[in-house]
Structure 1
Amino acid sequence: IVELPAAEFPVGLREIPQPPEKLNYRGQLPAADLTLLSIVGPRKYTTYGKQVVEELVGGLKGQPVGIVSGLALGIDSLAHEAALKNGLYTLAIPGGGISDERIYPASHKKLAYRILEAGGGLLSEFDPDFQATKWSFIQRNRLVAGISQATLLPEAAPKSGTLTTARMTADYSRDLLVVPGSIFAETSKGVHQFLKLGAIPITSKEDLLDALNLAPQEAAPAQASLALSPIELLIINTLTEPTHRDELIRKCGLGVAEAAQTLMMLELQGHIASEQNVYRRCL
């Protein structure tokens, strides 16, 4: 564990109101030329939220991007896992100290070790043996929001604690990126609040690259398509011509919520595209 001199604090953390007085770290700090993206979300995530994180982070593979999150249960750990899976740098900023005894939650100690082994880092403004408390998580959130150029919010209910970090992101003049969800999903209502206030909607991997000012990489030739689920195949095979969303749902015999989630994932994967609720195949 190394204490970082104030002059060497990441630029983003020197710019925020009430910057940290000190920082301790383990492992590697992010390189100066990395674009940092914070990903935050609820501890109790949905299948949709998990798919969004895996799909969007997967779309950053090979890019000069680092993923920042809080090592917490739920979306945080999914973000770190997705970064590791795709060979991206990842930085964990937990709500307590970063000694072996104080890593929180203790169930993520192995994840913390994997982050370090992969060349990532742990960062905290608390003493190494500080035990996480309710207020320390709120205090930590400003570091997660401040260190990155943008923060991505995959899903959040209206009263989710995650919204604190989202508000800080906006307050710090960083880009807040949100993934729209079903209007029937409680776990998307918090996201939609920020969408109405001007947050940047992310509906595909290409959207995320644009928001981070990154150019897409050319796909390897003859690359096999990802395996599709039976429902995804049903939708694609039904789209023999541009079709309105309501008509497509009727033809496929799907529920509205199930169809909305599957259509969103197919768009994120680049298999289909839509304009004014009319869908077409991209195959």
Structure 2
Amino acid sequence: MRKYWVALSSIEEIGSSFIQRLYHYFGDIESAFNATDLSQIEGLNIKKAEKYLRLRDKLDVDKIVAEVENRGINYLTFDDEKYPRMLKNIDDPPSVIYYKGDLFGCNLDKTLAVVGSRRATGYAREALAQIISELNGTDVCIVSGLASGIDTTAHVSALDNNLKTVGVIASGFDYTYPAANKELYKRIENGCGAVLSEYYPTFEPLKFRFPQRNRIVSGLSYGTLVAEASLKSGALITANLTLEQGRELMCIPGLITNPNTQGIYKLLKNGATLVTCADDILEALGWEIKVEQKSLFSLPDLSEDEKVIYDTLEIEEKSVDELQAFTKLSIDNLLMYLTTMELKGIIKQVDGDRYKRVNPVNRS
């Protein structure tokens, strides 16, 4: 019965893998819940099993379920018919999925995970937003972790382009993390997708729960797009999980001198698919490909010096003096190139002598 899944998930001292172990050994969740002898389960830690039995015996099952339902939280258990197929196939699937919003209004057969740096550069956010905008008109569902940075850009870009999105959080629903995303949570829950968690509502967003959350982000998805990642980025955890789960791994390239892209190039060297437009994603995943779609990087021909200037402007706008310091060009040559690049529509002058990139697709 479903209530036993929920009751077991409320025991904070055990994890989903422990519950799954009981379930698969005893064959059904009610038998697993009521079992008093766990000694025959191979490899089960005896002390942990004894502690679990003490905690389980204190549970008020009906009260625990009522606390979930009174909060307006929906849930799916592992043996539910509607439990997402892709998630069920991973090595350590969550025993219970708690969710708010319209999970089944999302096309769970076309799910794309998006991960990346919490301190994302302007370039990475703009590039990701552009690629997601090219998915407008498809039924692709964007899955991410509702964290700051790339996650937030992924969710907002999906919503702004009439795409459904699923946010996977690393706590129970009694917490909103980060607090700055409170309105984004509401926007997703109010008909534009779903927010979900494997954690009982009272569980806090503790540090160790974020890596655990990542397996669900990738596990729900047919592929993962990494938008920006340093060599120490948590996004690489999700990237590795994607490969372990046998899913497609894709990356958006960035400036090679930017530390936040070093993880990207490591993944690309190891065989990840390079993505510069939405068609690259659709093709990699074998989904229907839209036609007449321009690449994010469809730039006009540039001289070597112009490429240096363009790359220098990748992360943020710069003054003429800053550009000269970075490029080592003479002031006359630099001004000539800046004028030429403005005429080509790939940069523009802002705030006096400062310059910034122009989106190469929209030219805005």
Given the two structures, how large is their TM-score scaled by the length of structure 1?
0.79
Partner residue, 2:149: 74
Alignment pair present for 1:84 and 2:159: yes
Offset of residue 126 of structure 1: 0.3
- Cα shift readout 1:193-217 (whole Å, capped 9, x = no counterpart): 1101100110223212222323344
What's the counterpart of residue 276 of structure 1? none
Distance change >3 Å, CA 54–CA 142, structure 1 → 2: same
Kindly indicate whether the alpha-carbon contact (under 8 Å) linking 1:96 and 1:133 is maintained by their aligned counterparts in 2.
yes
Report the equivalent of 1:96.
171
- Whether the 8 Å contact between 1:56 and 1:208 is mirrored in structure 2 is no
Aligned position for 1:148:
221
1:34: Cα distance to partner?
4.0
* Aligned ranges 1:111-260 → 2 under 5 Å: 111-217=184-290, 239=300, 243=301, 245-246=303-304, 248-249=306-307, 254=309, 256-258=311-313
* Alpha carbons of structure 1 residues 255 and 200: separation in structure 2 relative to 1, 3 Å: closer
> Which residue is 1:269 aligned to?
361
Corresponding letter in the other structure for 2:119: K
Q: Which residue is 2:123 aligned to? A: 48
Task: Point out which structure has higher relative CO (alpha carbons under 8 A, 6+ apart).
Answer: 1
Whole-Å separation in 2 of the counterparts to 1:40 and 1:256: 23
Local SS of the residue matching 1:155: coil
Give the partner amino acid of 1:26: K
Name the structure 2 match of 1:228. Answer: none
- Aligned residues of 2:113 and 2:142 also touching (Cα < 8 A): yes
Partner SS state of residue 189, structure 1? helix
Q: What is the CA–CA distance in structure 1 between the aligned matches of 2:238 and 2:168, rounded to whole Å?
A: 13
Q: Deviations over 1:229-277 (max 9, x none)?
A: xxx9xx96xx4xxx46515437xxx2643279969x8897398xxxxxx
**1:10 CA drift (Å):** 0.7
Q: How many residues align?
A: 248
The code of the aligned residue for 1:106 comes to A
Secondary structure of the structure 1 residue equivalent to 2:224: strand
- Check 1:200–1:167 CA distance in 2 against 1; reply closer, same or farther (3 A cut): same
Q: Aligned equivalents of 1:125 and 1:212: distance in 2? A: 27
**Alpha-carbon RMSD:** 2.8
Contact 1:204 1:269 survives alignment (8 Å): no
What amino acid is the match of 1:258? L
What is the CA deviation profile of residues 91-144 of structure 1, one whole-angstrom value per residue up to 9, with x for unaligned ones?
A: 01011112xx31222221111000112331011110012111000111111000
Are residues 205 and 3 of structure 1, via their aligned partners in 2, closer, same or farther at CA, if it must alter by over 3 Å? closer
Separation of aligned partners in 2, 1:164 and 1:33: 22
Matched to 2:103, the amino acid is L
Q: Which one-letter code corresponds to 2:194 in the other structure?
A: G
Structure 2, unmatched stretches of 5+, are 1-72, 317-345, 348-356
SS at match of 2:195: strand
Which ranges in structure 1 are unaligned for 5 or more consecutive residues? 226-231, 272-283
Q: Distance in 2 between matches of 1:66 and 1:119?
A: 10
Flag the 1:245–1:10 CA change in 2: closer, same or farther, 3 A: farther
Distance of 1:119 and 1:260 partners within structure 2:
31
The residue matched to 1:52 in structure 2 has which SS?
helix
Structure 2 CA distance for partners of 1:193 and 1:104, relative to 1, 3 Å? same
Q: 1:218 to 1:106 in 2, by over 3 A?
A: same
1:21 Cα deviation from its structure 2 partner: 1.4
Question: 5 Å matches for 1:8-27?
Answer: 8-27=82-101
